[in-house]
Structure 1
Amino acid sequence: MMSPKRGIDRLSALIDRFRIRAFVAQGPEDPIRPNLFLVSNAYCSKGTGMDELVFRPRGEAEGIDIDAVVVAARVELGGEGAPLALALPREVRVDLCQAPALAAVATVLRDEVESPRCGHQAAVDRLCEVVVIRLLRHAIASGNAGGGLIAGLAHPQLALALVAMHEAPERAWRLEDLAEVAGMSRTVFATNFREIVGQTPGAYLANWRLIVARQEIAGGLPLKTVAGRVGFSSAAAFTRAYQRAYGHPPREDRKAMLQAAE
C-alpha cells in the first residue's frame, strides 16, 4: 500500500468527537479490565531486549504474560460503536524497537510508572492516551491493515474523502464530490473505496452520520437539531433511518440515556 501523504490529519476529527480515555491499573486487584499492556523484554527483531505494546480493543486479556507486564491500562476509544474501536483488529501488537516514535512515549510512561512523583495518576493516564494515539498513527503508517477504516485512512487519496466526511457529515456529499476531494475519477474512487474500506462511500457516510447522531442524542440535543447536524432534511427522515439501522427510534435511546443519568 502507498505510504500516507503528509499534511493530512487523519485522526483529529475522530478523536475530537470520540475522545480516547485511558485509566492505568493500580495493581492486580484493580477492576478496570485492562486492554493495553506494555510488556517488558519482548523479543526484538534487531536482537536486543525491548518492550512490546499489546492492545486488545475488545478487552480480552487472555494469553498475556502478567509477570512481564510493566503497565496495564483500560483504554476506551469512544464507547460502543465508536469507529476506531470497530476499525482495529482483535489484537494490535507492536515490537517497539521497530516503532521509535511510539517507543519514545512508552519509555516515558514506563519511567512514570516505575518512579511515581507528584501528579502520578494523571500523568500516567494522559501518557497512555498519547501512547494510543501514536499506536493509531503507527497502524495507519505501517499499511498493514487488510481493509476497513484504518486501511482507508492509510490510503493517501481515500483518506482525503474520509476526513471530509468525518469533518462535515451534514454536507450533501455526492459521489462526484468525494471523488473530486480524493483527486480520483468517479469510477476509480468508488471501486477503490469499496475494495479498501469494505463498503460503498454512500454506505460509509450513512453509517457515520448515524454514529454521530447517537453521540449528539447522548449530549441531549433535540432530535430536529441532531437531524440537521448529520445531514437529514427532517426529523422524520432521520427517525426512519435510525429505526432501520438500530431497530428502534432515536427517542428510545434518548429516554434510556436520560434514565441512566438520573
Structure 2
Amino acid sequence: MSSFDRLTTLMARFSLHVKPSPPETATLLVTAAPDGAPLHVWFGTGGIGSRFGAENIVFSAEVDWGGASNPLLASLPDQIGFDLSTDGEAANLVNLMRSELAAGRCGAVSVINRLGEVLIVRLLRAQIEAGSTEPGLLAGLSDPRLSRAIVAIHDGPGRPWRNEDLAGVAGLSLSRFSETFLAVVGETPAAYLRRWRLILARQDLVKGDRVDAVARRYGYDSAEGFTRAFKRSYGLSPVSLRHRPSGSALPSAVPAA
C-alpha cells in the first residue's frame, strides 16, 4: 500500500487550505540555499518563521488542515522538514508557487492553494516513510502492518469492527496486533475507532445532519447510545451542536479520552 493511500481519507475529511502569509504567522516555510534556490520545506506550529533568518525565507504560508481535530496533524512534531534536493518535482512546485505569488495574476491564490496541497502531501509521505519514535497516528501509519488496519478504520468507520477483524486486516495474531497497536499508536484499536467515529460525527452534525442518521452511519445501535458517547466525549449533546446558531463558537474539536 502506498503512502498516498494512507492519506486519501484524511485529505477528504479535513479540507486543506494553504494561504500566503508573513513568516511570523506562517506554518509552512521554504528556505533557500546560498544561491537563492529553494532548499528546504518546513511545516509546524504557528510562528515557525521566527526560527529562521528572514533573508533565508523565500516563501511562507499558513496551512489550515482541520486543526486539533485532525488526528494526523495532531500527531506531527512541532516542526518537520523536507529536503527539496531529494525531490525535484517538489522543488518545481515551490518555484511555481513563488512565481504565482510574485506575478499576482488572476486566480493566483487558488493556484497556490492547490499546489500547496500537493506539496503538503509529498511532505507527509516523506514523514510516513521516515516513521516516528513517538506513539501516535504518524507512527501507526508508518507501520506497514498497522497502517492496513488504520486505513480500514478510516475508510469504513461504520463497520462493526472487532479486534479480530482488524488483526486479520493487519496480518497479525490478535494478541500481537493488540499489543503492537497500543504501543505504536498510543491507544487501543477500539479507542482509536471510537475517537475517529466521534470526530467524523461532529463534522456531520456541524453540517446539519440528523442525529439518528449520524448514529447509524457510525455504527451505533441507537441515537440514545450515540448521544451518551458524544456527550461523554464533547461535553454537550449532539442535538445542541446541530442546532447551534450560525457563527457561534464551537466546542473543542478533540474528543475527550
Q: TM-score, normalised by structure 2?
A: 0.87
Displacement of 1:20 in angstroms is 1.2
Give the distance between the partners of 1:230 and 1:157, measured in 2 at CA: 24
Aligned partner of residue 33 in structure 2, secondary structure: strand
Match of 1:40 among 19, 32, 43: 32
Contact 2:30 2:38 in 1 (8 A): no
Mean Cα displacement is larger for which, 168-177 or 63-72?
63-72
Task: Report the aligned-residue RMSD.
Answer: 2.5
The amino acid across from 1:59 in the alignment is G
Q: Deviations over 1:206-257 (max 9, x none)?
A: 1001001110111110111111111111111011111111222222322335
Counterpart secondary structure, 1:165? helix
2:78 is paired with a residue whose SS is coil
Equivalent AA in structure 2 for residue 195 of structure 1? A
Q: CA deviation at 1:118?
A: 4.6
2-structure distance, mates of 1:107, 1:70: 10
> Residue 47 of structure 2 aligns with which residue?
60
Instruction: After TM superposition, list the pairs within 5 Å mapping 1:118-129 onto structure 2.
Output: 118-129=106-117
Structure 1 equivalent of residue 7 of structure 2: 11
Distance 1:187 1:21 in 2: 40
Distance 1:253 1:156, change over 3 A: same
> What does 1:216-235 align with in structure 2 at a 5 Å threshold?
216-235=204-223
- The partner residue of 1:199 within 179, 187, 194 is 187
**For 2:238, which of 229, 250, 255 is the aligned residue?**
250
Structure ranking higher on relative contact order (CA contacts 8 Å, 6+ apart):
1
TM-score for both structures, normalised by structure 1: 0.85
State how many pairs are aligned. 248
Q: Give the letter for the 2:183 counterpart.
A: E
| Structure 1 residues 226 and 257, CA gap change in structure 2 (3 angstroms) | farther
Q: Deviation string for 1:85-110 (max 9, x for gaps)?
A: 21211111223224445334223323
Amino acid at match of 1:24: P
Letter in 2 for 1:60: G
Instruction: Look up the equivalent residue of 1:10 and give its one-letter code.
Output: R
Which residue pairs with 1:157 in the alignment? 145
Match of 1:89 in 2: 77
CA distance in 2 between counterparts of 1:228 and 1:54 reads 41
Separation (CA, whole Å) in 2 of partners of 1:259 and 1:111: 36
SS of structure 2 residue aligned to 1:239: helix
Residue identity (%): 38
Range with greater deviation from structure 2 (252-261 or 12-21):
252-261
Output one character per residue of 1:13-44: Cα deviation in whole Å (capped at 9) or x when no partner: 1111112111123x67xx9x32111112279x
Equivalent position of 2:224 in the other structure: 236
Alpha-carbon spacing, 1:254–1:79, altered in 2? closer, same or farther (3 Å): farther
- The unaligned stretches of length 5 or more in structure 1 are none
Matching residue's letter, 1:85: L
